[in-house]
Chains A and B, each alone.
Chain A
Amino acid sequence: MLLDVLIVDDSAAIRKILQRVLRQADVPLGEVYEAADGVDALKVLGTQKVSLVLADINMPNMDGLQLLRKLKESEQWKNLPVIMVTTEGGQAKVMAAAELGAAGYIRKPFTADQIRHTLASVL
């Protein structure tokens, strides 16, 4: 089964980097979708089949924790794994993401190996 991934980050550069790392990772990758914030992400999720979300925390309009909360409150998306990929390393943010049900947490700057290991542990 192919893995369809949604990358949510307000930085186009980070979205491109994560796309590249995913394509080089040893995972059966299907479609890769992009969204610039949580609002965009919900629009993509409404129209596309997604099996994994990689989301930043600090984003305009709707941040990553708000997006995570919305997904976990939704019957449709509550089981969708969400990995936070963020600069935020403070204990409060990490705990908040964990309590909301994040499947993983990757700190920026990240290496390709860190992304691969986290993917492997989540999938």
Chain B
Amino acid sequence: MLNLTVTPGEAYREPPSSGPTDGVIALLGLVGQWAGTGIVQCDPSLAGRIYTHLLAMEDTPPPEAVSDDVLDAVAELANIIIGNVKNLLEEQTGPMGMSIPTVVFGHNFNTRSGGTESWTVVPFTCDGAKLVVKMCLRHVPQPGELRRGFAVPRCVTI
């Protein structure tokens, strides 16, 4: 769909609260017997290229500003990536619900997961830039006690 070459890097763990970051992040909540958050993160330049590639406008220069259209494209990419990870995880975790994406663009902001669980981070190189996929899940012994809706990630200090 994107026609971009993506190379995975070494996965690693990150503490619940990581240091300040810049760029575009899309967050999706997951609920079920395992609940948590999935994040797709990239810099504004790659976000613009994702937008042009998603719409098959590779010959068009990427937009210089991070517009609503660019955020929408990153949200959809995150929806596809985290959604497909969820589909794979469901073989082990049982069915999970997934929220619609929330996208944040800014500078020098922190994200923090609500629990004490660390994030599993997989960095990718995409079109020469860094694209990061993070997930943080915790086991919920009694999912019936979860409130309805999606698990809102504890964020953001801007």
- Chain A residues engaging chain B, CB cutoff 8 angstroms: 10-14, 16-17, 20, 58-60, 86-90, 92, 108-111
Known: A13-B73, A17-B55, A108-B79. 8 other contacts (CB 8 A): A11-B75, A11-B76, A17-B54, A58-B79, A58-B98, A87-B79, A87-B87, A92-B95
Measured between alpha carbons, how far is A3 from B99 in the docked complex, in Å? Answer: 32
Query: How long is the Cα–Cα vector from A16 to B73 in the complex, in angstroms?
Result: 11
A10 and chain B: residue at smallest CB distance: B100
Q: B residues bordering A, Cβ < 8 Å?
A: 1-2, 51, 54-56, 69, 72-73, 75-76, 79-80, 83-84, 86-87, 90, 95-96, 98-100
Q: How far is the CB of B53 from chain A (nearest CB, A)?
A: 10
Give every chain B residue within 8 A of A86 (Cβ-Cβ). 83
A111 to B56, CA, bound (A): 12
Q: Give Cα A87–Cα B75 distance, bound, in whole angstroms.
A: 12
Choose among B51, B87, B100 the residue that contacts A90 (Cβ–Cβ < 8 A). B87
Q: Smallest Cβ distance from A85 to chain B, in angstroms? A: 11
Across-interface contacts of A87 in B (CB, < 8 A): 79-80, 83-84, 87, 98
Cβ contact within 8 Å between B100 and A109? no
Residues in chain B near residue A59, CB distance under 8 A: 100
Q: How far is the CA of A109 from the CA of B1 in the complex (A)?
A: 6
Within the complex, what minimum Cβ distance (angstroms) separates B38 from chain A? 11
Residues on A with C-beta less than 8 A from B76 are 11, 13-14
Contacts of A89 in B (CB 8 A): 83-84, 87
Name 22 interchain pairs, CB-CB below 8 A, sorted by A. Answer: A11-B73, A13-B55, A13-B72, A13-B76, A17-B1, A17-B54, A17-B56, A58-B79, A58-B83, A59-B100, A60-B100, A86-B83, A88-B83, A88-B98, A89-B83, A89-B84, A89-B87, A90-B86, A90-B87, A90-B90, A110-B1, A111-B1
